[in-house]
Structure 1
Amino acid sequence: MGITTTVHLNFRDRALQALEFYRSVFGGRLVAFTYGQAQDVEHPADTDRILWGEVRADNGFHVMAYDVRENQTYDAGDRPFFVSVRGEDAEEITGYWKALSEGATIIADLGPSGWAPLYGMLEDRFGVTWTLDIATPYAG
């Protein structure tokens, strides 16, 4: 028996746009369901907001997202989490980096670091902080 962990991103009115963008970067299938489709509308502004959405790709990428309801507080905060994408192929990681970099703020340029042959950090155009790197065994 095992478990998996999946990053779940919280937005207000931007979940679908973010999921579409991440699908364009990593590929995969996007599924999204609105509050209106679920007949779970507490405030008219929620009707077309995403109640549940995800992108899942054959390469292992998986992210979930939703739009916080109108009657709930929402504060994106300042880097409350990072989404970490680790791989073994520099060309693949570099491709993801280039796509995510569009409209992003670069925090650490993609390049060699003291702990990985390739590492970078950016805040994408949706305010989500991503780290991308090449996985290396722990040298303890």
Structure 2
Amino acid sequence: MSVTTTTHLNFRGDARAALEHYQSVFGGRVTVITYKDMGGAPDEAESDWVVWGEVAADNGFHVMAYDVPSQQPWDQGRNPFFVSVRGDDTDEISALWEKLAKGSTVIQPLEPSQWAPLYGMLTDRFGITWVLDVAAPYNG
């Protein structure tokens, strides 16, 4: 048996834009099903919002997202989670960082750290905090 963990992001009207942005950074395919596709939303103005969406790439990147309808409570919160992207190639992680950093607030620049050849943290324009790093062997 196999278990996979996928980050699921909740938005209020920005899910499609976020998924398209993450696809432009990580590649892969965007799949979006709207409330209209499912038969309509309680609020007609939200009918094109995402009821289920994802970006899935052949390189293993996978993230899901949806727009919480306005009649349901939603609070983006402060640091409710981070999305971690870890690779073993500094060039690949650096290239992803450059794309993801556009329009973002850098919390920790991508640079060598005590535990990784490269480590950085940023919050993107959608309010999602990302941690990117290059994996290093653990030597206990």
Which bin holds the TM-score, normalised by the shorter protein? over 0.9
TM-superposed CA distance for 1:11, in Å, is 0.2
| Letter of the 2:85 counterpart | V
Q: Report the counterpart of residue 98 of structure 2 in structure 1.
A: 98
How many residues align? The count is 140
In the alignment, what sits opposite 1:56?
56
- Aligned 1:56-135 pairs, distance under 5 A: 56-135=56-135
Return the letter of the residue paired with 1:34. Answer: T
Q: TM-score, normalised by structure 1?
A: 0.97
Q: Which residue of 2 aligns with 1:38?
A: 38
Q: Which stretches in structure 2 are left out of the alignment for 5+ residues?
A: none
1 CA distance for matches of 2:40 and 2:101?
A: 36
In the alignment, residue 129 of structure 1 is paired with which amino acid? T
- Distance in 2, Cα, partners of 1:41 & 1:109: 41
Q: Distance in 1 between matches of 2:17 and 2:64?
A: 13
Secondary structure of residue in 2 paired with 1:107:
strand
Partner SS for 2:64: strand
Post-superposition Cα deviations, 1:49-72, rounded to whole Å, max 9, x if no partner, equal 100000000111000000001100
2:21 maps to 21
Q: Render the CA deviation track for 1:57-91: whole Å, top value 9, x for unaligned.
A: 01110000000011001111111100000000000
What is the TM-score when the length of structure 2 is the normalising length?
0.97
Question: Unmatched 5+ residue regions in structure 1?
Answer: none
Whichever residue aligns with residue 125 of structure 1, its letter is: R
Q: RMSD of the TM alignment (CA)?
A: 0.8
Q: Secondary structure at the match of 2:93?
A: helix
Q: 1:9 maps to which residue?
A: 9
Percent identical among aligned pairs is 59
Deviation at 1:35, TM superposition (A): 0.6
